[in-house]
Amino acid sequence: MHSWLLLAEAAAPKGGLFDLDATLPLMAVQVVLLTFILNSLFFRPVGKAVEEREGYISTSRAQAKEKLAQAERLEAELKLQLVDARKQSQALIFQAEQEVERLFREALALAQAEANASREKSRLEVEAQKTKAFAGLDTQAEKLGALIVERLLAAK
């Protein structure tokens, strides 16, 4: 092959802007062969890797968008549940406050009734003791009056 290049070089006339000899087709064949080799060895595997990564990225983006949409739906549902839970808790608190107030009023009424009953019982006991004391005083006053009259009459 080396000799063929020498013959091609010897047959070509020298001079001019471009020398059209056998080197031009040889360079073209080398460029095509190098392009084919580089394409098959480097560019196709790199292209496949790039396409696989692009596919992975696009599927990952799609999955991320789906997950984001699902998270937003769940967030909206949880917000609704939270609002409902707050309303239910407020209603439960209101009912509990009403129940406490009702129980307080009942306890207060019961305590007042017991206090009134106790006061009435004490008043009746005091009246009974007062009546008993007055009755005892009347008998003692009569005895004392009789004793005074007796002593006055005996002294005369």
DSSP letter (8 states) at residue 41: I
Mean pLDDT of 138-149: 84
pLDDT at 66: 96
Span 17-50, pLDDT tens digits? 566 677 778 888 999 999 999 888 888 888 888 9
Q: At what angle do helices 23-38 and 2-11 cross, to 10 degrees?
A: 140
pLDDT at 19: 60
Please state the length of the chain.
156
CA distance 126 to 19: 148
Mean pLDDT of 106-134: 91
Give Cα 115 distance to the centre of its chain: 50
Q: pTM for the whole thing?
A: 0.45
